C-alpha cells in the first residue's frame, strides 16, 4: 500500500519537525499517572488485596497488572484516535483538505497510514511507560502470548474502524474537541479498560457491547491476567472482528458525504 506508507512517512516527517522528541515522553504521563494512582489506592486503601467482586469480574487478583494492561491500552487507544480520527480535520485546518480530496487516492490507505504512524510512534511511548511500570515493581503475567498479540491487533483494528467514522463526523461538524473527548470519556468509562464492566449498570454493559474496542479489551485482559488460553479467547476475537468490519464499512460509506459536507461548510 504505497499511499499508506507515503502518508505514514509524511506524518513522521511533519511530526518530527513540529514537536521535540520529549513530546513522546510527555504523552505517556496520563497512563503513568493512572497506574501510579492505582498503585497508591491498592496499597494505601485496599491494603494490597482486591475485593471478591473484582476477582469475579476480571478473573484475577492481580489488580495492578490488570490496571497496567488497561491503562496502557487506553493510552494507546487515545493516541490512535488522536492521529487517525483527526487526520482529516487537521488537513482542513491547514488548508490541504481540498488538495487531498481532489486526488484519486482512497481514504482507507490514507487513514491506515496515520494508524501505521501512530502504532510505530507509540512503541517509543511504550518503552517509557515500561520504565514507570518496572519502577513500581508491577509484574504482568501472560497466560497466552498469541492471544495478547491478537488482542493488540484487534484493538488497533477496532480503534481504526472507530476512527474512520469519527473523523467523518469531525470534518462534517468542523469540530474535534467535543467529539474526541466524548469518545475518550465513553471508552474510559464503559470500555472495560481499567476496571471490569460488571461494576457498570446493565444498560451501560450492553452499550459497551456495541463498541468494537470492548471485545478487544476482553481478549487483552484475558490473555494477560485472565489466565485464558487462545481457544478461550477466540469467541471474543470473533465479536471484535465483526464489529470492526461493521464500523469500518459504515465509516467508509459515510466519509464521502462527510467530506462533501466539509467542503460546503468552509467556503
Partner 1 sequence: MTTSVKAAIEVRALRKEFPVRDKGIFGPRGVKRAVDGLDLDVPRGRITGLLGLNGAGKTTTIKTVATLLRPTSGRVTVDGLDTVTDARAVRRRINLIAGGERMVYTRMTGRENLWYFGQLYDVPKKELRPRIDDLLALVGLTDVADTMVERYSRGMTQRLAIARGLVNRPAYLLLDEPTLGLDAPIARDLRRVVARLAEEGTGVLLTSHYLAEVEELCGHVYVISAGRHLAAGSPAELKAATGTHRTIRLTVTTPSPATAAVATRFGADLELLPTGAELITLRHPDDMAGPLAAAIVEAGGSIGGLEIAEASLEDAILALADGSREAATV
Ligand X SMILES: Nc1ncnc2c1ncn2[C@@H]1O[C@H](COP(=O)(O)OP(=O)(O)OP(=O)(O)O)[C@@H](O)[C@H]1O
Tally of CB atoms within 10 A around 222: 25
What is the distance between the alpha carbons of residues 158 and 178, in angstroms, rounded to a whole number?
Answer: 21
Residues 238-267: x/- map of binding to ligand X (CB under 6 A)?
A: --------------------------x--x
163, three cell numbers:
476512527
Residues 97-136: x/- map of binding to partner 1 (CB under 8 A)?
A: -xxxxxxxxx---x--------------------------
Residues 2-31: x/- map of binding to partner 1 (CB under 8 A)?
A: xx--xx--x--xx--xx-------------
Q: How far is the CB of 104 from partner 1 (least distance, A)?
A: 4
Q: How far is the CB of 209 from partner 1 (least distance, A)?
A: 34
Residue the block writes with cell 503513568: 32
What is the distance between the alpha carbons of residues 83 and 97, in angstroms, rounded to a whole number?
Answer: 16
Binding residues for ligand X, rule CB under 6 A, total 2
Q: Which does 14 bind (CB under 5 to 8 A by kind): partner 1, ligand X, none?
A: partner 1
Q: Which of 129, 92, 110 shows the shortest CA–CA distance to 261?
A: 92
What is the distance between the alpha carbons of residues 171 and 187, in angstroms, rounded to a whole number?
Answer: 21
The nearer residue to ligand X, 174 or 235, going by C-beta atoms, is 174
Q: Give the torsion through C-alpha atoms of 48, 54, 58, 63, to 10 deg.
A: -20
What is the distance between the alpha carbons of residues 70 and 5, in angstroms, rounded to a whole number?
Answer: 29
Helices (H), strands (E): how many in the chain? Answer: 13, 0
Residues 234-263: x/- map of binding to partner 1 (CB under 8 A)?
A: ----------------------x--xx--x
Q: Which does 51 bind (CB under 5 to 8 A by kind): partner 1, ligand X, none?
A: none
What is the distance between the alpha carbons of residues 74 and 59, in angstroms, rounded to a whole number?
Answer: 20
Residues binding ligand X (CB under 6 A)? 264, 267
Residues that bind partner 1 (CB under 8 A): 2-3, 6-7, 10, 13-14, 17-18, 94-96, 98-106, 110, 256, 259-260, 263-264, 267
Amino acid at each position: 500500500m504505497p499511499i499508506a506508507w507515503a502518508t505514514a512517512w509524511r506524518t513522521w516527517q511533519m511530526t518530527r519537525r513540529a514537536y521535540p522528541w520529549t513530546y513522546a515522553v510527555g504523552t505517556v504521563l496520563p497512563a503513568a499517572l493512572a497506574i501510579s494512582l492505582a498503585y497508591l489506592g491498592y496499597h494505601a486503601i485496599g491494603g494490597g488485596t482486591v475485593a471478591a467482586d473484582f476477582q469475579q469480574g476480571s478473573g484475577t487478583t492481580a489488580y495492578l497488572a490488570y490496571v497496567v494492561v488497561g491503562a496502557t491500552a487506553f493510552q494507546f487507544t487515545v493516541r490512535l484516535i488522536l492521529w487517525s480520527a483527526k487526520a482529516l480535520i487537521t488537513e482542513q485546518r491547514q488548508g490541504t483538505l481540498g488538495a487531498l480530496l481532489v486526488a484519486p487516492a482512497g481514504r482507507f490507505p490514507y487513514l491506515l497510514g496515520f494508524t501505521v504512524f501512530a502504532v510505530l510512534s507509540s512503541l517509543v511511548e511504550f518503552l517509557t511507560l515500561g520504565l514507570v511500570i518496572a519502577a513500581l515493581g508491577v509484574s504482568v503475567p501472560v497466560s497466552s502470548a498469541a492471544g495478547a498479540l491478537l488482542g493488540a491487533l484487534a484493538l488497533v483494528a477496532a480503534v481504526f474502524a472507530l476512527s474512520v467514522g469519527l473523523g467523518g463526523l469531525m470534518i462534517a461538524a468542523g469540530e474535534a474537541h467535543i467529539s474526541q473527548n466524548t469518545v475518550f470519556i465513553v471508552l474510559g468509562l464503559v470500555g472495560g479498560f481499567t476496571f471490569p464492566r460488571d461494576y457498570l449498570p446493565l444498560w451501560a454493559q450492553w452499550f459497551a457491547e456495541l463498541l468494537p474496542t470492548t471485545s478487544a479489551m476482553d481478549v487483552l485482559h484475558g490473555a494477560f491476567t485472565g489466565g485464558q488460553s487462545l481457544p478461550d479467547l477466540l469467541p471474543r476475537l470473533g465479536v471484535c472482528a465483526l464489529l470492526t468490519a461493521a464500523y469500518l464499512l459504515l465509516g467508509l460509506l459515510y466519509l464521502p458525504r462527510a467530506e462533501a459536507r466539509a467542503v460546503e461548510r468552509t467556503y
